[in-house]
Amino acid sequence: MTHTIAVLPGDGIGHEIVEQAQRVLGALGLDLTMEQAPVGGTAYDLHGHPLPEATLALAKRSQAILFGAVGGWNYDSLPREHRPEQAILGLRKNLGLFANLRPAILYPQLANASSLKPEIVSGLDILIIRELTGDIYFGQPRGMRVVQEGQFKGEQEGFDTMRYAESEVRRIARIGFEAAQKRSKKLCSVDKANVLETSQFWRDIVIDVSKDYPDVQLSHMYIDNAAMQLVRAPKEFDVIVTGNIFGDILSDEAAMLTGSIGMLPSASLNASNQGLYEPSHGSAPDIAGKNMANPLATILSAAMMLRYSLNEASAAARVEDAVKAVLEQGLRTADIYEAGTTKVSTSQMGDAVLKALN
């Protein structure tokens, strides 16, 4: 069966890094079609909208989307609905991408890049699964109003609603258990059940779902403790599943443990395993067009695509092994360069990964 991939490079370094990931995908001997379309600021310049109809239609009919990054200084003054970042929100909403998977891997060769002691982080390999479409970020009602009673009566207040429906918790919990089954069979659910009703509800549902996965060892941790343990002993975690706001914070914290934003892939999946795959970093306008961006986060995102949306696990492992091999050879783009290693450009890094594949 031919796999269909929508390629949306976007802005800034998007084209440079996505090109390398496309070369890698193309070299695997798989039956793939890759169709490209503009997104973000580039799409706004061409079509007056960051997510043109044709781009959205391409994304919808593809099994997976390889996404670069969007945004740039020249778009910062546009009205909100035309800002490049709206393209990502539009894709998430239209495709129902509710599960965000962010691995935080620290390759032993890069252990010095972390702000933590190498022995605490070297070899770190954890997966944070964040619910992406619910929680306090989308709950209604929200807004501003005048306080009607109590100590602050008569004052203005801002308010939001934290909420999760049962099916929303069930489906993200399943993603967590299934990911844990493919790894070390340990799942930690993070919440704030000692204070929040939404979290107590979340915990009850996760426990109920766990009955379908007797082979997975489930634990629970409060968000404040999880934030602490993640810097104290991050390697004690394997798969973490959590809600939108806690996941937002924990996944950024975990990213910083690795110290190298150019290395971190991500996936956002819907219920049919259709997914958007992108590096965790932005469009890096400061280095765009200089052939110096690190393409490895995007290449590793392509590996996630092979594993989660295209069901090509062995091809995914080949790509991940090739990335390990180039690091082992001492090749580094500028962002991860240190004395004693060899500095390479974006395209040279792509060349090296291709060579390591074979």
Annotated catalytic residues are 137, 192, 224, 248, 252
86 touching ligand NAD, by CB under 6 A:
no
134 touching ligand NAD, by CB under 6 A:
no
Contact with ligand NAD (CB under 6 A): which of 20, 86, 283, 301? Answer: 283
Contact with ligand NAD (CB under 6 A): which of 37, 65, 69, 91? Answer: 69
Distance (Å, whole) CA 13 – CA 69? 7
Nearest approach, Cβ of residue 73 and ligand NAD (Å): 7
Residues 235-264: x/- map of binding to ligand NAD (CB under 6 A)?
--------------------------xx--
Nearest approach, Cβ of residue 280 and ligand NAD (Å): 8
Nearest approach, Cβ of residue 14 and ligand NAD (Å): 8
72 touching ligand NAD, by CB under 6 A:
yes
Contact with ligand NAD (CB under 6 A): which of 242, 294, 301, 309? Answer: 294
Contact with ligand NAD (CB under 6 A): which of 131, 135, 191, 335? Answer: 335
Give the interface size with ligand NAD as a residue count (CB under 6 A): 22
What are the angstrom distances between the C-alpha of 202 and each of 73, 228, 268, 271?
40, 21, 21, 19
Choose the stretch contacting ligand NAD; rule: CB under 6 A; options: 22-30, 155-163, 283-291, 315-323: 283-291
- State which residue, 175 or 287, has the beta carbon closest to ligand NAD: 287
Nearest approach, Cβ of residue 220 and ligand NAD (Å): 30
- Give how far the C-alpha of residue 43 lies from the chain's centroid of Cα atoms, to the nearest Å: 22
Beta bridge mates, 144: 158
Nearest approach, Cβ of residue 213 and ligand NAD (Å): 31
90 touching ligand NAD, by CB under 6 A:
no
Nearest approach, Cβ of residue 335 and ligand NAD (Å): 4
- State which residue, 68 or 198, has the beta carbon closest to ligand NAD: 68
221 touching ligand NAD, by CB under 6 A:
no
Task: Give CA torsion, residues 242, 247, 252, 255, to 10 deg.
Answer: 20
- State which residue, 111 or 284, has the beta carbon closest to ligand NAD: 284
- State which residue, 206 or 350, has the beta carbon closest to ligand NAD: 350
Beta bridge mates, 84: none
Residues that bind ligand NAD (CB under 6 A): 13, 17, 69-72, 85, 88, 261-262, 278, 281-287, 293-294, 297, 335
